[in-house]
Structures are given as C-alpha cells and as structure tokens.
C-alpha cells in the first residue's frame, strides 16, 4: 500500500504541474502581444492537448484512489484505467499530428528521440489498457471468490 500511496501522491504533483503549465501558457498568451502573434494558430490546439493529458493523469489517479479505497480489485478502477489509457493514447497520437499541422521545425538530430518518445508513450498507453483488462480479470476472480462460502 505504501508504494501505491506514493504513486498517488506523485500523480497529484504531476497533475498540479500540468494545470500550472496550462494556466501559465494561457496567461502568457493573453498578456504578451508577441506570443499572441506567434501562437495565434496553435494556442487552442496546445491547450486542448494539455487538457487531454490532464484528464489522462486524472483518470489514472482516480483508478489508484479506488485501488486504495476498495483494496485493489474493483470495477471503477478498471473503468478509470481504461479511460486513462484511451486519453493518453489520444494525446500520444494528436501531439505529433499537431506538430505536423502547425509546421513545427523538425531537427534531424531530434528525429530519433522523437520516434523513441512516440513509441514509448504508445507503449505506456496501450500498457495501461492491457493492465485494465488484467485488473478486470482479477475483479471477476475476486467476485467469484467473494460469492463462494
């Protein structure tokens, strides 16, 4: 339980940082005419991406909260893990698409790192979905077990 509580606390800090980053981005955009001119086409897409990432973290955090409350296996944890996995998958797919649409400059030396990051995030998001399937399996076993006297 200590590890899961620590992970929950880490996710809370991460969510707070994501929120803070999004708010700072919005405030800077509103207050600076230079930034407004530079990011006029992409600001909404960036905010949307931040919100999707925020929700992905929030869903995983909710899943952990239910893990702690209901002693690991329960339906709500499975559901939140699935939502978290899908949200992270959408974020992973949309982030490079947004970069391409906005014509972000691609440095040749960064291509390798970008591909590695993309595949890593894809693996993490599909990994979360696979874990959700396994937790679902565990929940069924637990329910069967609880029904057996």
Partner 1 sequence: MKRLGLLKTLTTILLVISGIAMFFAVPFVLVVAFLPGSVPFDINGTKAADASVESILVLAFTVIGYAFDVYALYLFKKVLELFEKKKIFHDDVIKHFDQIGKAIIIGYVVMAVPAVLYKMLVEGSVALSVDFDFDETLLTLGLGLFFMVLSEVFLIAKGLKEENDLTV
For residue 131, state whether it binds partner 1 (rule: CB under 8 A): yes
For residue 67, state whether it binds partner 1 (rule: CB under 8 A): yes
Q: Which of residues 87-126 bind partner 1 (CB under 8 A)?
A: 112, 115-116, 119-120, 122-124, 126
When binding is defined by CB under 8 A, the residue of 13, 37, 100, 108 that contacts partner 1 is 13
Indicate the Cα dihedral angle 22, 24, 30, 31, nearest 10°. -170
Output DSSP code: residue 73.
-
Q: How far apart are CA 23 and CA 3, in angstroms?
A: 30
Output DSSP code: residue 39.
S
The string of DSSP codes covering 96-124 is HHHHHHTT----HHHHHHHHHHHHHHHHH
- Residue 10 sits at φ, ψ, to 5 deg, of -60, -40
For partner 1, the closer of residues 41 and 110 by Cβ is 110
Task: Enumerate residues 6+ apart whose C-beta is below 8 A from 33.
Answer: none
For residue 10, state whether it binds partner 1 (rule: CB under 8 A): yes
For residue 31, state whether it binds partner 1 (rule: CB under 8 A): no
Nearest distance in Å: CB 27, partner 1: 16
For residue 4, state whether it binds partner 1 (rule: CB under 8 A): yes
Question: How many residues bind partner 1, per CB under 8 A?
Answer: 36
Residues that bind partner 1 (CB under 8 A): 3-4, 6-7, 10-11, 13-14, 17, 64, 67, 72-73, 112, 115-116, 119-120, 122-124, 126-127, 129-131, 133-135, 137-138, 141-142, 144-145, 148
């Amino acid at each position: 339980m200590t590890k899961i509580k620590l992970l929950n606390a880490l996710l809370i800090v991460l969510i707070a940082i994501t929120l803070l980053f999004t708010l700072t981005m919005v405030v800077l955009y509103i207050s600076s005419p230079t930034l407004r001119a530079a990011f006029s086409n992409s600001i909404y897409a960036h905010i949307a991406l931040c919100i999707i990432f925020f929700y992905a973290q929030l869903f995983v955090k909710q899943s952990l909260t239910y893990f702690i409350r209901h002693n690991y296996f329960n339906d709500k944890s499975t559901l939140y893990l699935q939502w978290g996995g899908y949200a992270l998958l959408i974020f992973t797919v949309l982030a490079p698409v947004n970069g391409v649409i906005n014509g972000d400059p691609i440095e040749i030396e960064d291509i390798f790192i970008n591909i590695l990051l993309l595949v890593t995030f894809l693996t993490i998001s599909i990994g979360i979905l696979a874990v959700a399937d396994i937790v679902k399996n565990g929940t069924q076993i637990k329910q069967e077990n609880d029904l057996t006297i």
